[in-house]
Amino acid sequence: MQISSRSTDNQTTLSLQGRFDFHTHRDFRGAYEQALEDAATREIVIDLGGVDYLDSSALGMLLLLRERAESLGKTVSLSKMQGTVKQVLDVANFDKIFVMKP
């Protein structure tokens, strides 16, 4: 998986490309740790538009990120979900615990 980061004002967007699974946990954690450490960042947006696969470990990583962010007074949003990725997030009821953006 490839991860790119873009910060504007008080928001950091992490754009993910490829498979989001257990094998990517170190890269994902490294990317979001930088966003969490940035005092200017109030919201972290995870852009899933380029993700073609995610598994249960990816769901767990998103939940861990949300927990860490909330402990620091930051929010986490998910965006650009499509296809099976959107279906998995819907089945897991992530729309009830994350802000979902188009």
Q: Where are the domains of the chain?
A: 2-101
The pair phi, psi for residue 52, each rounded to 5°, is: -105, -5
Dihedral over alpha carbons 58, 5, 47, 50 (to 10 degrees)? -80
**pTM of model > 0.75:** yes
Distance of CA 23 to the CA centre of its chain: 16
pLDDT mean over 31-43: 96
Whole-number mean pLDDT of the chain?
A: 96
Give the integer Cα–Cα distance in Å for 54 and 88: 8
For the segment 44-89, what is each residue's pLDDT rounded down to a tens digit? Answer: 999 999 999 999 999 999 999 999 999 999 999 999 999 999 999 9
For 16-26, letters b (16+ CB in 10 Å) and e give beeebbeebee
The CATH class for the domain spanning 2-101 reads alpha beta
